Structure 1
Amino acid sequence: MKRITLRAPRRAHGSVCQLCQFSKSFPRRHRTLHTTSISTPPRLNILLYPNATHATPQRRNFGPAFGLQNGIARRFASGVPNTGVHGDPEAMLQEVLKEFKTITSSPRVPSDEAVGQFLQRCSELVKIALSNNYKATLPPTPQGDNNATSSLLDLDVENGRNGNTISAVQTTPKKSTKTPSKKSSLQTKTAIKISSMLNDFLRDPKIFISPDVLRQYTLMQAQLMEAEHFPEIFSLYATKPIPNDNGSTITYHKPNPKTVKNAIPQELANIALDTAIEKKNLPLCLAIIDESFCKPAYYRSKIFRKAALPLAGLATAPTAAYAAASYISTLQTAMEPNTALWVSFSGILAYIGFTASIGMVAITTANDQMMRVVWIPGMPLRQRWLREEERAAMDKVAVAWGFKDPRRIGEEEGEEWESLREFIGMRGMILDKTDLMEGME
Structure 2
Amino acid sequence: MLRPYPSGPAPRLCQICGLVNRQQALALQQSKQSSKRSFVTLHASRRLARADGSVPTAPRAARLFATSQPCLKAAKRPQPPPAPKNQNAPQSSSQDGEHGTPRPRPSSKPQSPAADLAELVAAVDRVTKAFLAQQGIPSEHTTLTALRACAKPDLRLILDAQKPSQIPASASRLLDLDRRSKSPATDSLGQTDPSPLRPEDVMKRISNAAYAIVSHPAVSITPQVLDEYVQLQARLGRPETFPYVLELYATKPNPRLVAGSIEYVKANPNKIQNAIEQAVAETALNTAIEAKHLDAAVGVVENAYATKAFLRSKIVKKALLPISVAGAVPVAAYILATNLALLQDSLEPALATNMAFVGILAYFGFTGTIGIVALTTANDQMKRVTWAPGTPLVHRWLYEEQRAALDKVACGFGFSQASRYGEEEGEEFMLLREFILRKSMILDAVELMPGMN
Question: TM-score with structure 2 length normalisation?
Answer: 0.67
Q: What are the residue-to-residue correspondences of 1:35-434 with 2, within 5 Å? A: 69=103, 72-73=104-105, 91=119, 93-125=121-153, 128-130=154-156, 178=164, 186-246=198-258, 248-434=260-446
Equivalent position SS for 1:258: coil
Question: What one-letter code is carried by the residue in structure 1 that aligns with 2:125?
Answer: L
Partner Cα separation in structure 2 for residue 282 and residue 2 of structure 1: 93
Question: What one-letter code is carried by the residue in structure 1 that aligns with 2:94?
Answer: S
Specify the structure having the higher radius of gyration (Cα): 2
Partner Cα separation in structure 1 for residue 330 and residue 288 of structure 2: 49
Partner Cα separation in structure 1 for residue 411 and residue 99 of structure 2: 74
Partner Cα separation in structure 2 for residue 399 and residue 185 of structure 1: 36
Equivalent position SS for 1:435: helix
- 2:26 maps to none
What RMSD over aligned residues (CA atoms) do the two structures have, in Å? 3.5
Equivalent position SS for 2:382: coil
Partner Cα separation in structure 2 for residue 112 and residue 187 of structure 1: 30
| Cα displacement (A) at 1:384 | 0.9
**Partners of 2:131 and 2:146 within 8 A in 1:** no
> Highest relative contact order (Cα 8 Å, sep 6+), 1 or 2?
1
Partner Cα separation in structure 1 for residue 415 and residue 373 of structure 2: 33
Partner Cα separation in structure 1 for residue 117 and residue 322 of structure 2: 52
Partner Cα separation in structure 2 for residue 270 and residue 359 of structure 1: 28
Partner Cα separation in structure 1 for residue 112 and residue 298 of structure 2: 44
Question: What one-letter code is carried by the residue in structure 2 that aligns with 1:424?
Answer: I
1:152-181 deviation per Cα after TM superposition (whole angstroms, max 9, x unaligned): xxxxxxxxxxxxxxxxxxxxxxxxx94878
Partner Cα separation in structure 2 for residue 412 and residue 133 of structure 1: 33
Equivalent position SS for 1:305: helix
Summarize the Cα distance change of 1:343–1:414 in structure 2 as closer, same or farther, 3 Å threshold.
same
- Most deviating of 302-311 and 324-333: 324-333
**Partners of 1:129 and 1:190 within 8 A in 2:** no
| Cα displacement (A) at 1:401 | 2.5
Gaps of 5+ in 2: 9-82, 173-195
**Partners of 1:89 and 1:129 within 8 A in 2:** no
- 1:50 maps to none
Summarize the Cα distance change of 1:11–1:209 in structure 2 as closer, same or farther, 3 Å threshold.
same
| Cα displacement (A) at 1:98 | 2.2
Equivalent position SS for 2:255: strand
Question: What one-letter code is carried by the residue in structure 2 that aligns with 1:108?
Answer: G
| Cα displacement (A) at 1:106 | 1.8
Equivalent position SS for 1:101: helix
Partner Cα separation in structure 1 for residue 313 and residue 244 of structure 2: 21
1:41-88 deviation per Cα after TM superposition (whole angstroms, max 9, x unaligned): xxxxxxxxxxxxxxxxxxxxxxxxxx854xx35xx65995799xxxx7
Question: What one-letter code is carried by the residue in structure 2 that aligns with 1:129?
Answer: L
Structure with greater helix percent: 1
1:328-359 deviation per Cα after TM superposition (whole angstroms, max 9, x unaligned): 33333333333333322222222222222111
| Cα displacement (A) at 1:276 | 1.6
Question: What one-letter code is carried by the residue in structure 2 that aligns with 1:237?
Answer: Y
- Most deviating of 363-372 and 100-109: 100-109
**Partners of 1:81 and 1:135 within 8 A in 2:** no
- 1:57 maps to none
Q: How many residues align?
A: 345
Summarize the Cα distance change of 1:121–1:326 in structure 2 as closer, same or farther, 3 Å threshold.
farther
**Partners of 1:329 and 1:337 within 8 A in 2:** yes
Equivalent position SS for 1:110: coil
Identical-residue share of aligned pairs (%): 38
1:209-247 deviation per Cα after TM superposition (whole angstroms, max 9, x unaligned): 000110111111011011111111011000000011235
**Partners of 2:333 and 2:361 within 8 A in 1:** yes
Partner Cα separation in structure 2 for residue 130 and residue 2 of structure 1: 69
Equivalent position SS for 1:124: coil
| Cα displacement (A) at 1:433 | 1.2
Summarize the Cα distance change of 1:438–1:280 in structure 2 as closer, same or farther, 3 Å threshold.
same
Partner Cα separation in structure 2 for residue 364 and residue 379 of structure 1: 11
Partner Cα separation in structure 2 for residue 407 and residue 341 of structure 1: 60
Question: What one-letter code is carried by the residue in structure 2 that aligns with 1:280?
Answer: K
Question: What one-letter code is carried by the residue in structure 2 that aligns with 1:326?
Answer: T
Summarize the Cα distance change of 1:349–1:271 in structure 2 as closer, same or farther, 3 Å threshold.
same
1:388-413 deviation per Cα after TM superposition (whole angstroms, max 9, x unaligned): 11111221122222222222222222
Question: What one-letter code is carried by the residue in structure 2 that aligns with 1:200?
Answer: A
**Partners of 1:329 and 1:341 within 8 A in 2:** yes
Question: TM-score with structure 1 length normalisation?
Answer: 0.69
- Most deviating of 402-411 and 331-340: 331-340
**Partners of 2:118 and 2:197 within 8 A in 1:** no
